[in-house]
Amino acid sequence: MQKIHFSILINAPREKVWDILVGEDSYPQWTSAFSPGSYFKGSWEEGSKILFLGPNPDGTGEGGMVSRIKENRLHEFVSIEHLGTVANGVEDTTSEEAKKWAPAYESYAFVDKDGGTEVSIDMDTLDEYKTMFEEMWPKALQALKDLAEK
């Protein structure tokens, strides 16, 4: 497992960027870079369980991740602890496949910078997914920026 880092400067206040990042309607828009049709089910409150879901690429139902909000400091920082996978409504946190990478952390920091907001992401990933995330994250962050700067 290795940590990867991404950041972007967005010409909008932290509160607006935060609200778009975690908003029920806006989340699917910026995360479509990872998987069109992505959405979440649950709460962003610290300690809460949250599911990150979307259609399987092969059209065979839904898949995603079962996670918990490890830390949440409103408009400053949120850390997600990924605990396992979800396949067609079934959560898996105990198989060898899930244990191979979970827990993995994905954290977002929001800092006032140059009249806007710098959003930084630190994420744990397996070597086999590093290249994929290095291609997807810049697209997702650009979509977040475009939404926030409207």
Q: Cα dihedral angle (35, 5, 21, 149), rounded to 10 degrees? A: -100
Tokens representing 57 are 């690429």
pLDDT digits (tens, 9 = 90+) for 43-101: 999 999 999 999 877 777 788 999 999 999 999 999 999 999 998 888 999 999 888 88
Containing structural domain, residue 26? 2-148
The CATH number given to whatever domain includes residue 91 is 3.30.530.20
Domain count, the chain: 1
**What is residue 12's predicted lDDT score, i.e. its pLDDT?**
98
